[in-house]
Chain A
Amino acid sequence: MTKPDIKTHLRQYLDFGREAMLWKLEGLSEYDIRRPMTPTGTNLLGLVKHLAGTEIGYFAVTFGRPFPEQFPWLGADAEKNADMWATPDESREDVLALYERVRAFADATIAELPLDAPGRVLWWPEERANVTLDQIIIHVAAETHRHAGHADIVRELIDGTVGMRLGRENMPETDRNWWADYRNTLEEAAKTAAS
């Protein structure tokens, strides 16, 4: 086995999260990618927009490499949660293309800087604000995976589609009836345990 390439592992897991997130929108109607599915409004296109903003913050601002575009929804005057949903004049294509540009920018930061390159996260507490690139990659990878987890459930609630990633769903091979029976088993077990 060759010596582990730390940067490659980190990049790979960041990409797993990004790819899973994007996959969760595939094949859905305009309404379904935007509709809020929880009391706090969680929606698929908003998660992508949020992650685009996140990567600008962590891979551009933090390392003093300004992203060439500015967005009112990332500014200090933005209204609450403006980065968590797409307005009617932001098309699906706009948001996905932005995420793609931001990813390319972030990947360039990762490629060009060494893992111990110093950065400063302006919105973190002072004692943690000085960071290195490796820390930031794992932080953004973790955040992306958590949001991909949100997307997993939101997508399942919309149309029943599930899975870890394209080509590797990582779900048991069963049919719809099996799942209905399984879910009933769990519901009954929950009631028994609670009684």
Chain B
Amino acid sequence: MTRVIAFDAKADLLLHLQDARDALVWKLDGLPEYDVRRPMTPTGTNLLGLVKHLTGAEAAYFGAAFGRPVEGPALWFAGDAEPNADLWATADETRERILDDYRAMWRHSDATIAELELDAVGRVPWGNRQELTLHRVLVHMIGETHRHVGHADIVRELVDGSAGQRADGANTAEGDAAWWARYRDRLERVAREASGEAG
């Protein structure tokens, strides 16, 4: 590659990261305390835990990896924390605090991104301390954050039926509850047919 990394490449990457961060925080909007915490899968996936986990991930990737340490939830696989400790909030950790910490972490990460070049080299703060460029870390965190937002999408829908891509645009088909119920029934019927069961 001979292309010079332009400033707008960095801005575009940051836009995609912020898009996912905003979507995640939005997924908790309007839910009562219980619903932001309740585990919705056998492995306990819950909304507030996803926020806490991504706060820790940004601390590691945009902080420690580039010699800019910042306090954040310890990632369970990276140290002494008990398994999955970063994936749920204890009863005495408030939702406000966890969301504020996430937003504070964005500012710390964004300063790293602003101050370093995309080809600046960091080292992941665990294992064999693999070298990574800031560009690669950004792409990694865009992927990781979007994947967890995908978890949040389904968890939120299971909690109260809300779905949508982002606060200012759902990007889902327009249909009322009755339309969605018919649509879902049809898919269920088709799935049974395709598997050889009588429809």
Complex CA gap A192/B143 in Å reads 33
A30 touches B163 (CB 8 A): no
A149 touches B183 (CB 8 A): no
Stretch in A39-47, A58-66, A98-106 touching the partner: A39-47
Residues of chain B from 24 to 50 with CB closer than 8 A to chain A in the complex: 32-34, 37-46, 49
Complex CA gap A183/B33 in Å reads 17
Total A-B contacts with CB atoms under 8 angstroms apart: 216
Complex CA gap A124/B96 in Å reads 35
A145 touches B3 (CB 8 A): no
Shortest distance from the beta carbon of B51 to any chain A beta carbon, whole Å = 14
Residues of chain B from 164 to 184 with CB closer than 8 A to chain A in the complex: 172-175, 179-181, 183-184
Complex CA gap A170/B148 in Å reads 14
Complex CA gap A190/B93 in Å reads 11
0/1 string, A12-44, CB within 8 A of B gives 1: 010011001000000001110011111111110
Complex CA gap A66/B150 in Å reads 30
Chain A residues closer than 8 Å to B191, beta-carbon distance: 30-31, 34-36, 43
Complex CA gap A139/B42 in Å reads 31
B154 CB contact (under 8 Å) in A143, A154, A182: A154
B146 touches A142 (CB 8 A): yes
In which size bucket is the chain B interface? 35 or more
Q: Is B68 an interface residue (CB 8 A)?
A: no
Interface residue count for A (Cβ, 8 Å)?
74
Q: Is B74 an interface residue (CB 8 A)?
A: no
B16 touches A194 (CB 8 A): no
Q: Is B111 an interface residue (CB 8 A)?
A: no
A13 touches B184 (CB 8 A): no
Complex CA gap A148/B157 in Å reads 16
Quick one: closest B residue to A148, CB to CB? Answer: B147
Complex CA gap A134/B135 in Å reads 12
Chain A residues closer than 8 Å to B90, beta-carbon distance: 189
Q: A150-B150, A186-B46, A190-B46 are in contact. Are A87 and B19 (CB under 8 A)?
A: no
Residues of chain A from 51 to 102 with CB closer than 8 A to chain B in the complex: 80-81, 85-88
A179 touches B146 (CB 8 A): no
A172 touches B157 (CB 8 A): no
Chain B residues closer than 8 Å to A114, beta-carbon distance: 3
B143 touches A13 (CB 8 A): yes
A141 touches B38 (CB 8 A): no
B146 CB contact (under 8 Å) in A88, A116, A143: A143
Residues of chain B from 1 to 18 with CB closer than 8 A to chain A in the complex: 1, 3, 5, 9, 12-13, 16
Q: Is A166 an interface residue (CB 8 A)?
A: no
B88 CB contact (under 8 Å) in A34, A80, A160, A186: A186
Quick one: closest A residue to B175, CB to CB? Answer: A80
A150 touches B37 (CB 8 A): no
A138 touches B195 (CB 8 A): no
Quick one: closest B residue to A157, CB to CB? Answer: B41
Q: A30-B195, A142-B16, A145-B150 are in contact. Are A6 and B183 (CB under 8 A)?
A: no
Q: Enumerate chain A interface residues (CB-CB to B < 8 A).
A: 1, 3-7, 9-10, 13, 16-17, 20, 29-31, 34-43, 46, 80-81, 85-88, 114-116, 134-135, 138-139, 141-143, 145-154, 156-157, 160, 162, 170-172, 174, 178-180, 182-183, 185-187, 189-194
What are 30 pairs between A and B in contact, CB < 8 Å? A5-B1, A16-B143, A31-B195, A34-B194, A36-B184, A37-B154, A38-B158, A39-B163, A39-B180, A43-B191, A80-B174, A80-B183, A81-B183, A88-B190, A114-B3, A143-B146, A146-B150, A147-B150, A150-B154, A151-B150, A156-B42, A171-B43, A172-B83, A179-B42, A180-B42, A187-B39, A189-B91, A190-B34, A190-B39, A190-B46
Q: Closest 3 A-B residue pairs measured CB to CB?
A: A149-B150, A190-B37, A31-B195
